[in-house]
A = this chain, B = another copy of it.
Amino acid sequence: MGSVPFVFPMPAAIVGADVEGAPTFMTIAYCGVVNNGPAMVAIGSNPGHYTMRGIEEHGSFSINIPSENLVARTDYVGMHSGATTDKSGVFDVFYGECDHAPLIRECPVNLACRVAKRLDIGGKDAIVIGEVVQCYVSGDALTDGAPDIEKMRPILYATGSRTYWGIGEKVGDAWNIGATYEP
Contacts and interface: CB of A to CB of B under 8 A. Distances in A.
Nearest to A75: B178
Contacts of A38: 3, 122-123
A32 B32 contact: yes
Interface string A120-141: 0111110101011111110000
Contact of A8 (B147, B180, B183): B147
Contacts of A121: 35, 40, 116-117, 129
A102 interface: no
Given A4-B39, A37-B123, A177-B72, A169 B166 contact: yes
Nearest to A136: B1
Contact of A158 (B34, B111, B124, B149): B149
Contacts of A146: 160-161
A170 B158 CA distance: 10
A33 interface: yes
A159 B134 contact: no
A154 interface: yes
Contacts of A94: none
Contacts of A41: 5, 7, 32
Given A1-B136, A117-B121, A31 B13 contact: no
A19 interface: no
A44 B34 contact: yes
Given A79-B178, A156-B167, A177-B75, A127 B42 contact: yes
Contact of A33 (B5, B77, B163): B5
A116 to B, nearest CB: 6
23 contacts: A2-B135, A3-B38, A4-B135, A5-B36, A6-B39, A10-B33, A32-B33, A36-B123, A36-B124, A40-B121, A68-B171, A78-B178, A79-B179, A80-B178, A90-B183, A116-B122, A147-B158, A147-B161, A149-B158, A149-B163, A163-B170, A165-B167, A166-B168
